[in-house]
Structure 1
């Protein structure tokens, strides 16, 4: 039979694993964001150099204005594309984190409940009223964890829905 310390260590191990998964996800997403920003900056720089070269050879002011307008439009499109990709990445990350937190609340609550149940099972309680009170407390605790997990899941689903105004669905 596992000791109370073993049960506590197991809970701590699960929490540490979840924290490490969150940290890894954060690092990976930061890398993706930086790669996207670097690629966009490089592309804009190269296009800017080409545009300056093209503008330096233009003699007609009308043609120069057209080139500038094309460059401005291209730059705007690239920036908007970059922002769109960053938003999609943030949305996916938010969904992943939401799932992970909901899972942690759900399984963590169940693990705590099971540990409490094992702990109370081993206690020498002969008073039936005390045993009933402990069972009621455990049932209330389980129900509270289930409500927290459900509320957390619903909240993350709301936040993960793009374009939905706050408070409306």
Structure 2
């Protein structure tokens, strides 16, 4: 079975040592996903696999046979931007832009986690059934994605604009 990347089937690489990141960047020329630390520590290479975030530098492409991978290029709907991409522009959620694709993919998956009721370390009222997306909640959930330029305030503002007042039904539709 091939991997489905941004809606298109892609054959599994013949070399089982090829990372998902290298498949995306070097073989498919999808340069939006960035190679930062290549050790899984910075989040620049974050992509979605079946709606969940992973760091693609630590993932072997063969592991994702039959799975659905979405990169930053696959989030937009036709020529229109994903709402989070537009919010990043509006809130200046980037400076150099290197971490931005990973930040956006991570935030989209974060919205799905909240919709499924997955708490973070700072989530209060675990038995209330709802998770309030506060600045602290966003910062905790996005802590695996680093920005060397210091655009974290704009990133948090963009995420809160898109997902901050949404309920779980809206968040699920945003995935």
TM-score by length of 1: 0.24
Q: What's the TM-score once normalised by structure 2's chain length?
A: 0.23
User: If each structure's helix is expressed as a fraction of its own residues, which one has the higher value?
Assistant: 1
State which structure, 1 or 2, has the greater radius of gyration over its C-alpha atoms.
Answer: 1
Tell me which protein shows more strand as a share of its residues.
Answer: 2
Q: More relative contact order in 1 or in 2 (CA 8 Å, sep 6+)? A: 1
